[in-house]
Amino acid sequence: MKTLKQHWPEYLMEAALLGLFMVSAGVFTVIFEYPNSPIHQAIANADLRRLLIGVAMGMTAIVLIYSPWGKQSGAHMNPAVTLTFYRLGKVKRQDAAFYVLFQCLGGVLGVYLVVLALRNGFTQPPVNYIVTVPGAMGWLAALLGEFVIAFIMMLTVLLTSNHKKFSRYTGIFAGCLVMLYVFLEAPLSGFGMNPARSFASAFPAQIWTAFPLYIFAPLVGMFSAAELYLSVFGQRSVKCAKLDHHTYKRCIFRCNYNQEGEVDLSDRLSRLG
């Protein structure tokens, strides 16, 4: 309870961030895919519509990561990300547990908000609560797709967030991957990569098709990326669990940016000036 009392702002921020992401995903999917939407009717090409959804979702991710809440909580928005940083020793056990809980709660709340606002346009096919289910190629393709995109995402986050020159751009790299994943990988699995995001859609829809796949594939993919990173660069190379550490917001993680000078003080002062 002490941890909850001290870190509840970060937990609520994580809930709000994933909730906002789900609201954005739901709204943009309805705009582009609901048959009665004027924009859907104006854009006949399904690939183009999916590309535009990807751009919208990637931009949403970037905005959330660099938002004041994202800078303070670390902008995980994903239990697989949180648990991977826990495995890397950057997140305490109690924080990891509360992050996962609040991410799930925030995601579900975000979906229900879209249900209230858009109703049949969101809850009926083809949008169908933006639930993640395997595509036409089946569950094996979905499993491989989820593993690969999670692996690439976490490896990218680790390589950029722990690099002095690239660390401030981690959120941009992550957002660009989201854009690509929606366009290229969504036909395989619906683009989950996030157990809380998949649960947030499955729970109100009561559609649990291949649901364990969307829990374990992202976890195994991100854990595998972390193991590869550690084998090459070592434990000490992992600085923190935040995607953006160029901020004066407090950090609740086991952070060694300040100790090792990865974020230069003069750089921070120049940003204030």
Backbone angles phi, psi at 99, to 5 degrees: -60, -50
Please report the pLDDT score of residue 201 as a whole number: 98
Angle at 132 between CA 131 and CA 135, to 5 degrees: 120
CATH number of the 2-266 domain: 1.20.1080.10
Where is pLDDT greater, at 158 or 248? 158
Which amino acid does the sequence have at 208? W
User: Which residue is associated with the tokens 């952070």?
Assistant: 255
| Model pTM score | 0.92
Rounded-to-integer distance, Cα 89 and Cα 87, Å: 5
CB 22 within 8 A of CB 65: no
User: Which residue is associated with the tokens 């600085």?
Assistant: 239
Backbone angles phi, psi at 211, to 5 degrees: -60, -40
Rounded-to-integer distance, Cα 153 and Cα 160, Å: 11
Please report the pLDDT score of residue 199 as a whole number: 98
CB 164 within 8 A of CB 267: no
**Residue 116: partners with Cβ closer than 8 Å, 6 or more residues away:** none
**pLDDT confidence of 245, banded at 50, 70, 90?**
confident
Q: What's the average model confidence in pLDDT over 138-145?
A: 98
**Residue 144: partners with Cβ closer than 8 Å, 6 or more residues away:** 188
What are 182-233's pLDDT values in tens digits? 999 999 999 999 999 999 999 999 999 999 999 999 999 999 999 999 999 9
